[in-house]
Amino acid sequence: MAILPDSSLKEAVFVAERIRLSIQETSFSGELEDLHLTASLGVASFPQEGVSTVDSFIKLADDALYRAKNNGRNRVEFHNPEEAQKDLQ
């Protein structure tokens, strides 16, 4: 988990993507030469409507993480409040 104070959702997604790419580009030598790492990351922002506790904030990021895994792994997904509003209607 990374907390990025004073960062917008867009900035947090940018940081997550840089982390993902850095992990993907990591190479090893010797016996681990054939090892290739990937990362799936979930991003959420706070404050936002409907998020009043740390647990609800973490759940949004966790839901985004599982969406990244379900959508093919090695990707960044984020909680989009506008999409969540559409789901509620």
What is d(CA 10, CA 21) in angstroms, rounded to the nearest whole number? 17
pLDDT, average across residues 49-71: 93
Query: What's the confidence (pLDDT) of residue 54?
Result: 92
Determine, yes or no, domain membership for 4: no
Determine, yes or no, domain membership for 3: no
Q: Do the beta carbons of residue 39 and residue 74 sit within 8 Å?
A: yes
Determine, yes or no, domain membership for 46: yes
Determine, yes or no, domain membership for 80: yes
**Total domains in the fold of the chain:** 1
Residue 60: give the domain boundaries.
9-88
Query: What's the confidence (pLDDT) of residue 77?
Result: 96
pTM: 0.84
Determine, yes or no, domain membership for 2: no
Q: Among 18-22, 27-31, 46-50, 71-75, name the one with the lowest average pLDDT.
A: 46-50
Comparing C-alpha atoms, which of 62, 24, 22, 56 is closest to residue 43?
Answer: 62
CB atoms within 10 A of CB 21: 13
- CATH number, domain with residue 56: 3.30.70.270
Determine, yes or no, domain membership for 21: yes
pLDDT at 48 > cutoff 90: no
